[in-house]
Amino acid sequence: MESAGKFDYIIIGAGTAGCLLANRLTQDKNNNVLLLEAGGKDDYIWIHIPVGYLYCINNPRTDWMFRTEAEAGLNGRSLIYPRGKVLGGCSSINGMIYMRGQERDYNEWAGLAGDASWRWDQVLPLFKKSEDHHGGSSEFHGTGGEWRVEKQRLSWEILDAFRAAAAQVGIPNTDDFNRGNNEGCGYFDVNQKRGIRWNASKAFLKPAAGRGNLTIMTGCQVKRLKIDQQDGAKRCTGVEFIGGGKEWMAEAVHDTILAAGAIGSPAILQQSGIGNGAHLASAGVALVHQLAGVGENLQDHLQIRSSFKIRGAKTLNTMAGSWSGKAKIGLEYLLKRSGPMAMAPSQLGAFTKSDAGQATPNLEYHVQPLSLEKFGDPLHEFPAFTASVCNLRPSSRGHVRIAGNDPLAPPKITPNYLSSAEDRKIAAASLTLTRQIVAAPALKKYAPEEMKPGAQFRTEEELAHAAGDIGTTIFHPVGTCKMGRSDDASAVVDSQLRVLGISGLRVADASIMPTITSGNTNSPTVMIAEKAAAFILAARSKIVV
């Protein structure tokens, strides 16, 4: 086994969290850091052109190519489950939407973690620290940070009409979803810079890459963490990994930090013997440390994709339906960095409540001027739009579990979508609300005709079943290394993101969320990494050498 050397810190995963951590930890020249990434460099052209997500998802060059198990709640279907396998991680292939979630999310985390520093008013400065917002500095936004936030560089008549229709059914207009209560309808802000994707690799890793105290190794997949035991105490002292056809060992003086995401981080812990003993035994892995919550508590946003055929308005279906249309789209992007090639996958958003009993919005819409049968299929040949809606606070819980002791084999991913009666009820209610918006006067002149799920589904039971037919992930898995108090048997990390019962080991990515945020999860992951870096640096400053 080759020695990769000894480092103060080892970061596993150069995704959103790992890129920020590498930047922050190497700002102190006394910190020697190793960053390991299973994927390659983010030099694929389609990463950087916003519409290129179509060519990055389900592409082994940039995606882990995971699939879920067959889901009962989805009427037996299995879904592709994209996760970024490239520098920048999911920020290199995602929808680029800048979304923090709601104040209530973080206040709930603080209660579950027993740590008031996770409250909204405490994490807001961390969001602002990394932010470079198009609107300038304000009570809610920051400038000068690395994480660029811009307005989208396009608008659509049919989306403007949907926004007007939403207002007619009581969803007000808003120009900012990121002030703590995101109720309203408006165009999403995006992580782009002048019409080009702004991923975490560009934002955080590139400025740090030239520092002499940062070593970046790509194409390296972790086998297991090295856990030493002495006098009953357990400590993570490094990591074994495979790269370039060789087996390597790297040592960590202070911390090894898992930033491999909600799928990768629990799988690495399990392969290292950290998890539920009964599950590990069935997978052929010797138990090193019992933590029943590893891989459990999986939460995700299931988007229910209603689509409507229309008349009298331009949509991407018809624009991209001819070679002349494609040429015009390409020329606009080449000359102006605008138009459909600058599109985020979803342009218009709306946040509202499924029923009056909700204290804050629990539904999010992603509205698109296009339609297709399923992801990867060609666009329909007629004008249409899609209004996807997801339950922001699902009560269904799933899990991620390794299938055996091969560290290179994909884990089994079981989201358990729509497994609770509450989630099925909200799914039906959200489809009913979508129909109410589409029936509002502002959309009448476009004569919208429901294609999916289909007007034949009427009762709550029928609509819940239909949601299982048309629902798909919106790529927000979280929660599988849950943060919690020491008396929480399902917790994996404490409020400073230290793995319970093992020193020298932290998790800093979306897997630590005890509950999913009310919105897209990429920028909350930036904040989590920012907070983790602060914890780590504070701990280092107290170390007497």
**Which sequence positions are flagged as catalytic?**
476
Q: Which two tokens stand for residue 526?
A: 């930036």
Question: What residue has token string 């290394």?
Answer: 481
- At residue 459, φ and ψ (nearest 5 deg) are -75, 165
Among 85, 77, 8, smallest CA distance to 39 is for 85
Angle in degrees, 0-180, between the axes of helices 157-168 and 421-438, rounded to the nearest 10: 110
Residues 6 or more apart whose Cβ sits within 8 Å of residue 382: 309, 317, 318
Closest C-alpha to 344, from 94, 518, 175: 94
First to last CA, the chain: 30
Structure-block tokens of residue 2: 């080759």
User: What Cα–Cα distance (Å) separates residue 486 from each residue in 47, 128, 212, 239, 297?
Assistant: 41, 30, 38, 26, 17
Please count the residues of the chain.
545
Q: Tell which phi-psi region holds residue 88, choosing left (phi > 0), alpha (psi between -120 and 50) or beta.
A: left
Query: Are 192 and 150 a contacting pair, CB within 8 Å?
Result: yes
Note whether 410 and 315 are within 8 A (CB): no
Tell me how many helices (H) and strands (E) the chain has.
15, 24
Nearest to 474 by CA among 516, 412, 421, 445: 516
Cα distance between residue 495 and residue 133, in whole Å: 29
